């Protein structure tokens, strides 16, 4: 037997590969034939919607460059609210030996943690106090706590 001879199964595999290549080439040519020449256009109208027809320029609103505001628009005078950071509340729990406690806000009934480092006057349970809020590790903390 000569080395150049192929077995029956090798011949069949070669035939299958050739057939696959031919089919792939036919599919490629069919896709090219289906494709229509030219470019399809899509327009955006004055409302930001996609359309297949060009938008009517008469419907486009006029915008002055000075009217465009990037970021947060500035507030007008008189529009600003006077924000008072001082809140009023009642001491619901305070442990002077451990140096912490909780204050209930009179406005929204929220309970805030307070530490001895943020307390100015001596306080005890059921005292009426004024305080400010500060972001802590586990939420808002009452600081600058003073007795009323």
Q: Whole-prediction pTM value?
A: 0.46
Q: What is the pLDDT of residues 79-138, one digit of tens each?
A: 555 677 899 999 999 999 999 999 999 999 999 999 999 999 999 999 999 999 999 999
Domain 87-147 CATH (choose: 3.90.1150.10, 2.40.50.140, 3.40.50.720, 2.60.40.1220): 2.40.50.140
Q: Which two three-digit tokens encode residue 63?
A: 């915008």
Cβ–Cβ under 8 Å, residues 86 and 130: yes
The single residue listed with the structure tokens 């000569």 is 2
Comparing 73 with 94, the larger pLDDT belongs to 94
């Amino acid at each position: 037997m000569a080395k150049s001879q192929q077995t029956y199964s090798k011949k069949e595999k070669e035939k299958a590969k050739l057939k696959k290549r031919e089919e792939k080439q036919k599919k490629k040519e069919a896709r090219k034939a289906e494709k229509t020449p030219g470019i399809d256009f899509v327009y955006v109208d004055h409302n930001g919607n996609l359309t297949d027809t060009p938008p009517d320029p008469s419907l486009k609103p006029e915008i002055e460059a000075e009217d465009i505001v990037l970021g947060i628009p500035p507030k007008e005078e008189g529009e600003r609210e006077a924000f008072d950071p001082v809140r009023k509340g009642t001491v619901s729990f305070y442990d002077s030996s451990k140096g912490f406690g909780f204050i209930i806000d009179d406005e929204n009934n929220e309970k805030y943690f307070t530490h001895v480092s943020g307390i100015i006057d001596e306080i005890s349970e059921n005292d009426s106090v004024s305080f400010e809020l500060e972001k802590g590790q586990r939420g808002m903390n009452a600081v600058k706590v003073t007795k009323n």
